[in-house]
Structure 1
């Protein structure tokens, strides 16, 4: 069911998201005594309400459900008068298996006539995949090789004259030596490999000292990156004695690339004559790989070749009202065009499971989602944790009081289309349509997982601001409010704030955002995270990460 928003007449001071809600959201700071028009009834605020926070539209008794988005998002721990703020002092996390709004088989796809013949300019791979970028990947099999990865990173940047931190280095010299003693930053010259987006270097803290399952999960994740449609090939560094062996990674790559179409070079330091020999051989594979990758050029591809990973981080009280449903509307449009979406962060789906289960295409898909959610929750419980611990201090400060409240808004990123498949961590997407991916709520761990499962473009919503990016997949940042978009304009790509101000509809803005996605996928638009060389990569050690 599409989101419906009822608002005050006159000035847009607050919103009731769903007709069944017993709370409203303040869109600006509201003093005590402010009179609110609540669907024709005048409501007087019992206390001052900070913007983004929720307040009751009628008195709530102890134990009564707090309802937002039409679902239970908490329970009153004491009587709450009408017009009072919902806080951590009077409300606790709570959910209920209510009648879901969604119905299996009843999805009404949005009108996508304007995009029916649209294409993007992508990199076509021999296995049929289409990339939105073209990069060579350099990865370590174990943390012992991180230092050599950093050596290679600096050497390649210097050789190509493509140091992303050139201006900052000039700033540092000027601060230390003064303007007279600082050499000017060298301007970048002509690119040697114009059809390649660059070399991406991964580092991590895994590969040894963990369990066999840890090593296997790491190899599966790295294989997902090596075989990613945005990756032309890879250079892999191994120490030799670690738990995550080259053979394990070879097998994981072969599962995804059985015909060996992706060039991958495996180098082992303990089998090398010296570190210098290892670095020389690695540099040779990188430069040879760049020359080969440069032979691939962009060509038109249907929008069905796009897979949007959706993520939120630094969420605020407006995220679930503007940015998240906006992204969901884009996912719905892409699915209607034959493309795919991946919704992750299982801890942030807690409380809306029944809605997602109702959208699963069959019982098998629904059962897998239930089983993975229950296994994750049980694992958390064994170490004394719970999904209700998910909201961060920043979330709570901005009005996301309970995990269920956060989840109800976070799930909006998945739109309303049917759930065609449920993936465990590191599993590749194989079915077109909306997929659910088991990952933690940690921003970078989850974004890392989205790319590993095949997302070739990521939409990342934020209300407080976060610079998160990814090494191989372009990340587009969408702000929930215009103040953030203006203050962090070097980080934010798209502003969903006009939705909150009532200046435009979600549908109208969704078409604009989808066009930006097409431009980013075609290389015509460079997302802010890419400009900042924000190449974040953190594998999930399959522990309790909320």
Structure 2
């Protein structure tokens, strides 16, 4: 560790501890010498000056908290002495000037993807089986049991052997202590050989929506499902409908046409109440799904420019290092992709609280800026009406590891979006149509936000985490990036890349971004499967507006 602490922005009146610092640690910063009067855990912050009650606390150059009592020079910031605070925001002058990064090393690079007729390019090739309503979830799961293993798409689990070992120990009369201390070896399962080698899998999505909610809920769900059906990583779909639900198949077809007026992928829609027996429904679904796979199995990867990448920017299980390691690296990668004509999606609106002014000023025109500010205000008002607000976003894990206010968390989360102008602001579940940085209104909840980013067109998601989270997606590769080396070594089964090198002073942000982009190209080409794909982490949760932070 080359440094013990860090000032993120010249205006900040706090420092971030880069490792555990005991009380009495000598600090020399900007010509001033002082000692810590409290211990400060790694990732947490301590004051650079004596702060009076009510005084502003700045990080990343913005207001992130106010002191609730006097805080002495060298004292740790805690929930006991600070409270969330953020600046008001308003429509202001455009600030769209930015320094484009050097992309000469990637300008002529390509990835191997699936070219679709609408001009998009997939990084994978999946068939979907989707229910219009939760009543059809059981039938979707029956199809999954029938098809997945037989077609060679079953994810190898390997834990059945562990259970057999436990049963054998029990039958042998072993004690609870013996069983708890037993070494359960996990035998390696041979991967199945797919019947259709150019299809990456059949994915079965289930959800708890489609009926019983508002008409807005039904339309929004249909838009989300249409986003998946029209997604470049999807070859075709089988849709199961009961028939009487709010989310009608006619709504789905309208939303598909809205996203792709010339849509011509194979999509089979089956209504149970029209067909009659469950047996007839399932047999028709099996036949049509199988013939759909036959029709699309000849699709192959071909070279595509990096401008065809649309990357979802996500963070979850964030810590006090997120905003100074993995998120700025992702921001640098975002700027590089935008420079090459690609698209990036910055979502999680509750985690943009406090940086609204900067982001609205970066919008390419006043209409886009006003749309962003209105979405932020409306979303927060809905959260308040539900008994909460953006201030309640940080989780216990976030707080434990240094993100003690939502504004601190947000200022670091926004770093994923880099510095390029905001070309478009989208409301959930709209689709990306413009290259550049797109802001998408979603909750901060990992799976709901990732689900929405993919529906908006992300064909790769890069997910930074400081605490570790297994989040994935059914149709889009999710690359997991650790903010610290401890996590990278502790959870190698779910983490793909490490940005703890930034904290340790061993790598620059730009160099780490280049390393990440090389990895993205290999994932987009199907050369590498991220850990979430290997584990079959097929998380899919539609967002019900106004409920989730």
- 2:36 corresponds to which of 45, 59, 80: 45
Which residues of 2 match residues 378-389 of structure 1 at below 5 A? 378-389=381-392
Greater alpha carbon shift after TM alignment, 419-428 vs 98-107: 98-107
Greater alpha carbon shift after TM alignment, 230-239 vs 381-390: 381-390
What SS class does the counterpart of residue 139 from structure 1 fall into? strand
Deviation at 1:103, TM superposition (A): 6.4
Is 1:127–2:127 an aligned residue pair?
A: no
Which residues of 2 match residues 447-486 of structure 1 at below 5 A? 447-486=450-489
- 1:204 corresponds to which of 175, 185, 207: 207
Which residues of 2 match residues 80-119 of structure 1 at below 5 A? 80-97=71-88, 104-119=95-110
Deviation at 1:340, TM superposition (A): 0.6
Which residues of 2 match residues 133-532 of structure 1 at below 5 A? 133-177=124-168, 187-532=190-535
Question: Is this contact kept in 2: 1:134–1:230, CA < 8 A?
Answer: yes
Greater alpha carbon shift after TM alignment, 245-254 vs 405-414: 245-254
Question: Is this contact kept in 2: 1:101–1:355, CA < 8 A?
Answer: no
> Given the superposition, is the C-alpha separation of residues 171 and 283 from structure 1 closer, same or farther in structure 2, using an over 3 Å criterion?
farther
Question: Is this contact kept in 2: 1:134–1:293, CA < 8 A?
Answer: no
Is 1:59–2:50 an aligned residue pair?
A: yes
> Given the superposition, is the C-alpha separation of residues 82 and 98 from structure 1 closer, same or farther in structure 2, using an over 3 Å criterion?
farther
Greater alpha carbon shift after TM alignment, 169-178 vs 327-336: 169-178
CA distance in 2, matches of 1:99, 1:213: 29
Greater alpha carbon shift after TM alignment, 184-193 vs 104-113: 184-193
Aligned to 1:4: none
Deviation at 1:412, TM superposition (A): 0.3
Deviation at 1:175, TM superposition (A): 2.7
> Given the superposition, is the C-alpha separation of residues 185 and 278 from structure 1 closer, same or farther in structure 2, using an over 3 Å criterion?
farther
Question: Is this contact kept in 1: 2:94–2:363, CA < 8 A?
Answer: no
Deviation at 1:97, TM superposition (A): 4.8
Question: Is this contact kept in 2: 1:56–1:83, CA < 8 A?
Answer: yes
What SS class does the counterpart of residue 127 from structure 1 fall into? coil
What SS class does the counterpart of residue 422 from structure 1 fall into? strand
Question: Is this contact kept in 2: 1:332–1:416, CA < 8 A?
Answer: yes
Deviation at 1:489, TM superposition (A): 0.4
Deviation at 1:153, TM superposition (A): 1.1
CA distance in 1, matches of 2:89, 2:429: 32
> Given the superposition, is the C-alpha separation of residues 331 and 437 from structure 1 closer, same or farther in structure 2, using an over 3 Å criterion?
same
> Given the superposition, is the C-alpha separation of residues 219 and 491 from structure 1 closer, same or farther in structure 2, using an over 3 Å criterion?
same
What SS class does the counterpart of residue 137 from structure 1 fall into? strand
TM-score computed with the length of structure 1 as normaliser? 0.95
> Given the superposition, is the C-alpha separation of residues 11 and 521 from structure 1 closer, same or farther in structure 2, using an over 3 Å criterion?
closer
> Given the superposition, is the C-alpha separation of residues 354 and 184 from structure 1 closer, same or farther in structure 2, using an over 3 Å criterion?
closer
1:470-503 CA distance string (max 9 Å, x none)? 1111100000000101110010000000000111
> Given the superposition, is the C-alpha separation of residues 66 and 207 from structure 1 closer, same or farther in structure 2, using an over 3 Å criterion?
same
1:386-432 CA distance string (max 9 Å, x none)? 10000111111001010000000000010111100000001000100
CA distance in 2, matches of 1:99, 1:241: 45
Greater alpha carbon shift after TM alignment, 229-238 vs 383-392: 383-392
CA distance in 2, matches of 1:69, 1:302: 34
> Given the superposition, is the C-alpha separation of residues 397 and 184 from structure 1 closer, same or farther in structure 2, using an over 3 Å criterion?
closer
What SS class does the counterpart of residue 366 from structure 1 fall into? helix
What SS class does the counterpart of residue 160 from structure 1 fall into? coil
Greater alpha carbon shift after TM alignment, 86-95 vs 288-297: 288-297
What SS class does the counterpart of residue 159 from structure 2 fall into? helix
What SS class does the counterpart of residue 67 from structure 1 fall into? strand
Question: Is this contact kept in 2: 1:43–1:57, CA < 8 A?
Answer: no
Q: What count of residue pairs does the alignment treat as equivalent?
A: 537
Deviation at 1:101, TM superposition (A): 13
Unaligned 5+ runs, structure 2: 173-184
> Given the superposition, is the C-alpha separation of residues 272 and 172 from structure 1 closer, same or farther in structure 2, using an over 3 Å criterion?
farther
> Given the superposition, is the C-alpha separation of residues 174 and 102 from structure 1 closer, same or farther in structure 2, using an over 3 Å criterion?
farther
Aligned to 2:6: 15
Question: Is this contact kept in 1: 2:158–2:186, CA < 8 A?
Answer: no
What SS class does the counterpart of residue 455 from structure 1 fall into? coil
Greater alpha carbon shift after TM alignment, 152-161 vs 396-405: 152-161
Deviation at 1:522, TM superposition (A): 0.5
CA distance in 2, matches of 1:299, 1:178: 52
1:8-33 CA distance string (max 9 Å, x none)? xx941111111111001111111100
> Given the superposition, is the C-alpha separation of residues 512 and 486 from structure 1 closer, same or farther in structure 2, using an over 3 Å criterion?
same
Question: Is this contact kept in 2: 1:71–1:98, CA < 8 A?
Answer: no
Deviation at 1:102, TM superposition (A): 11
CA distance in 1, matches of 2:187, 2:498: 35
What SS class does the counterpart of residue 148 from structure 2 fall into? helix
CA distance in 1, matches of 2:340, 2:536: 31
Aligned to 2:176: none
What SS class does the counterpart of residue 115 from structure 1 fall into? coil
What is the CA RMSD across the aligned residues, in angstroms? 2.1
Greater alpha carbon shift after TM alignment, 457-466 vs 371-380: 371-380
1:192-249 CA distance string (max 9 Å, x none)? 1111110111000000100100000000000000000000000000111111111111
Question: Is this contact kept in 2: 1:102–1:355, CA < 8 A?
Answer: no
Aligned to 2:60: 69
